[in-house]
Amino acid sequence: MRRDAEPYQRRSGRVDPVAGRDGRALYDAVLLDRDGTLIEDVPYNGDPDKVRPVPGARAALDRLRAAGLRLGVVTNQSGLARGLFTAAQLRAVNARVEELLGPFDTWQCCPHDERAGCACRKPAPGMVHAAARALGTTPQRCVLVGDIAADLGAAAAAGAAGVLVPTPTTRAVEVAAAGQVAADLPAAVELILTRSALVAGSPPRRAGTVLVVRSDSAGDVLVTGPAVRAVAAYAERVVLLCGPRGRAAAALLPGVDEIVEWPLPWIDGAPDPVDPADIDRLTDRLRAVRADEAVVFTSFHQSPLPLALLLRLAGVPRVSAISDDYPGSLLDVRHRVPAGLPEPERALSLAAAAGFALPAGDDPRLRVRADRVPPPPGGLGGPGYLVLHPGSAVPSRAVPPELAARIVRTLTAAGHRVAVTGGPDETALTARVAGDTGLDLGGRTGLADLAGVLADAGALVVGNTGPAHLAAALGVPVVSLFAPTVPYGQWGPYRVPTVRLGDAAAPCRDTRATVCPVPGHPCLSAVEPGRVLDAVRLLGVPADALADAPPVTAGRGSDR
The 10s digit of each residue's pLDDT in 22-63 is 555 799 999 999 999 999 999 999 999 999 999 999 999 999
Please give the DSSP secondary-structure letter assigned to residue 164.
Answer: E
pTM above 0.85?
yes
Backbone torsions φ then ψ of 95, nearest 5 degrees:
-65, -40
pLDDT higher at 3 or 290: 290
pLDDT for residue 14 is more than 50: no
pLDDT bin (cut points 50, 70, 90) of residue 393 is: confident
pLDDT bin (cut points 50, 70, 90) of residue 203 is: confident
pLDDT bin (cut points 50, 70, 90) of residue 8 is: low
Q: What is the pLDDT of residue 232?
A: 97
For residue 316, the SS3 value is coil
The half-sphere exposure of 445 on its side-chain side, counting CA atoms within 13 A, is 28
In this structure, the strands spanning 29-32 and 70-76 are parallel
Range in 148-162, 249-263, 370-384, 447-461 with the lowest mean pLDDT: 370-384
- Other Cβ atoms less than 10 A from the Cβ of 5: the count is 10
Query: Amino acid letter at 413?
Result: A
pLDDT higher at 359 or 161: 161
Yes or no: say if 324 and 346 are a contact pair by the CB < 8 Å rule.
no
Question: What's the gap between Cα 54 and its chain centre?
Answer: 29
The phi-psi region of residue 29 (left if phi > 0; otherwise alpha if psi is between -120 and 50; otherwise beta) is beta
Determine whether 35 is an active site residue: yes
pLDDT for residue 9 is more than 90: no
Q: What is the pLDDT of residue 512?
A: 87
Yes or no: say if 346 and 186 are a contact pair by the CB < 8 Å rule.
no
Yes or no: say if 266 and 184 are a contact pair by the CB < 8 Å rule.
no
Please give the DSSP secondary-structure letter assigned to residue 31.
Answer: E
pLDDT for residue 3 is more than 80: no
CA separation, residue 105 to residues 28, 68, 90, 206, 477 (Å): 12, 12, 17, 38, 28
pLDDT for residue 16 is more than 80: no
Range in 8-17, 162-171, 359-368 with the lowest mean pLDDT: 8-17
Determine whether 113 is an active site residue: no
Catalytic residue among 33, 113, 151, 220: 33
pLDDT for residue 549 is more than 80: no
Q: What is the pLDDT of residue 6?
A: 60
pLDDT bin (cut points 50, 70, 90) of residue 2 is: very low
Tell me what the mean pLDDT of segment 228-245 comes to. 97
Tell me what the mean pLDDT of segment 280-298 comes to. 98
Strands of 478-481's sheet in order across:
439-440, 418-420, 386-389, 459-463, 478-481, 498-501
Query: How many Å from the N-terminal Cα to the C-terminal Cα in the chain?
Result: 51
- The percentage of the chain sitting over the pLDDT mark of 70, rounded to a whole number, equals 93
Catalytic residue among 16, 35, 362, 503: 35
CA separation, residue 404 to residues 172, 414, 431, 541 (Å): 28, 16, 11, 19
Burial (0-12, 13-18, 19+ Cβ within 10 Å), 471: buried
Yes or no: say if 104 and 73 are a contact pair by the CB < 8 Å rule.
yes
Tell me what the mean pLDDT of segment 382-387 comes to. 95
Length of the chain: 560
Tell me what the mean pLDDT of segment 105-118 comes to. 94
pLDDT for residue 560 is more than 60: no
pLDDT bin (cut points 50, 70, 90) of residue 4 is: low
Tell me what the mean pLDDT of segment 226-253 comes to. 97
Backbone torsions φ then ψ of 360, nearest 5 degrees:
-60, 140
- Other Cβ atoms less than 10 A from the Cβ of 52: the count is 12
Q: What is the pLDDT of residue 300?
A: 83
Please give the torsion angle defined by the CA atoms of residues 386, 391, 394 and 397, in that order, rounded to the nearest 10 degrees.
Answer: 50
pLDDT higher at 519 or 471: 471
The 10s digit of each residue's pLDDT in 531-540 is 999 999 999 9
- The percentage of the chain sitting over the pLDDT mark of 90, rounded to a whole number, equals 82
